[in-house]
């Protein structure tokens, strides 16, 4: 507990057996109350690895439902376990787990409602192994998104996010895609509802086990990102009314 806030880390996993232990070992266990892993029908030994380490709750999809569907399961489980602060961390060791206390305190101190771990704020993204083409696409999409969403973030594509429960309780994330564009839909909802978003610089650790979207899914993701950004722009000027932006 941090100031009577229950802290839960959720790990949306898919074929994360090689990096799961390393990720969980660096989560500050004296600070975090519970860890929940949801496995999206991995074909490796993710579940076996999870059962051997300090994970409180392990959930498994019988069929692969997609990255967005995996996050939905994560957030429902965290809210069911009465979390006050929920941290979504990819278990592929791409992000720095030891930043969790800093992210949480920005929320418990009332500064932000959501905190993102940004790989772009520092100069370490490419040095940390992010492919140059991914970096350039990230920057290009973020530039367009900031204009259309009338906001200012260093990146919209991080898999390291910390939420106050009221955010996840009020935005309708269940309406979002089950695919990768879920990440951008939920940020668009948060921005539209005027929740306060902060960012913290996060070192990047790319290696052969880091999760990565293949070419054609990444093209579909990029187009989806532009679609979501355009939707919020049209919603704001009163031309298009999407159920995506209805609060619960």
Domains of the chain from N-terminus onward: 7-131+155-210 (3.90.550.10)
* Least confident residue range of 64-68, 120-124, 197-201: 120-124
CB atoms within 10 A of CB 178: 15
Residue 93, SS3 per DSSP: coil
Tell me the mean pLDDT in the region 160-187.
95
pLDDT class of 124 with cuts at 50, 70, 90 = low
Distance CA 209, CA 9 (A): 21
Predicted pLDDT at 152 = 94
What pLDDT sits at residue 131? 76
pLDDT of the residue at 153? 96
Token pair in block for residue 95: 């992000």
Residue 184 in contact with residue 190, Cβ under 8 Å? no
pLDDT at 209: 59
Q: Is the pLDDT of residue 78 over 80?
A: yes
pLDDT at 213 over 80: no
pLDDT at 210: 58
* pTM more than 0.85: yes
pLDDT score of 137: 87
Query: What average pLDDT score do residues 156-169 get?
Result: 96
Which has the higher per-residue pLDDT, 132 or 184?
184
Average pLDDT over residues 111-118: 97
Across the chain, mean pLDDT equals: 91
Cβ-proximal residues to 79 (8 Å cutoff; 6+ apart), any chain: 86, 165, 168, 169
């Amino acid at each position: 507990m941090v100031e009577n806030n229950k802290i839960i880390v959720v790990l949306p996993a898919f074929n994360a057996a090689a990096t799961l232990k390393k990720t969980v070992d660096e989560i500050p266990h004296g600070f975090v109350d519970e860890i929940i892993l949801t496995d999206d029908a991995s074909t490796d030994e993710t579940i076996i690895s999870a059962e051997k380490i300090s994970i409180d709750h392990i959930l498994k999809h019988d069929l692969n439902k997609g990255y967005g569907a995996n996050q939905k399961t994560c957030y429902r489980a965290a809210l069911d376990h009465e979390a006050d602060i929920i941290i979504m961390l990819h278990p592929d060791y791409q992000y720095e787990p030891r930043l969790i206390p800093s992210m949480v305190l920005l929320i418990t101190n009332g500064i932000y409602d959501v905190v993102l771990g940004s790989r772009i704020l520092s100069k370490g993204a490419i040095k940390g192994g992010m492919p140059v083409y991914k970096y350039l696409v990230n920057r290009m999409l973020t530039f367009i998104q900031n204009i259309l969403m009338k906001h200012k973030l260093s990146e919209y594509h991080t898999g390291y996010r910390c939420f106050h429960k009221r955010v996840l309780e009020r935005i309708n994330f269940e309406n979002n895609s089950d695919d990768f564009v879920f990440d951008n839909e939920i940020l668009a909802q948060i921005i539209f509802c005027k929740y306060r978003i902060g960012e913290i610089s996060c070192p990047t650790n790319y290696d052969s086990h880091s999760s990565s979207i293949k070419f054609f899914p990444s093209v579909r993701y990029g187009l989806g990102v532009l679609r979501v950004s355009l939707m919020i722009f049209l919603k704001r000027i009163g031309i298009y009314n999407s159920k995506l932006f209805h609060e619960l």
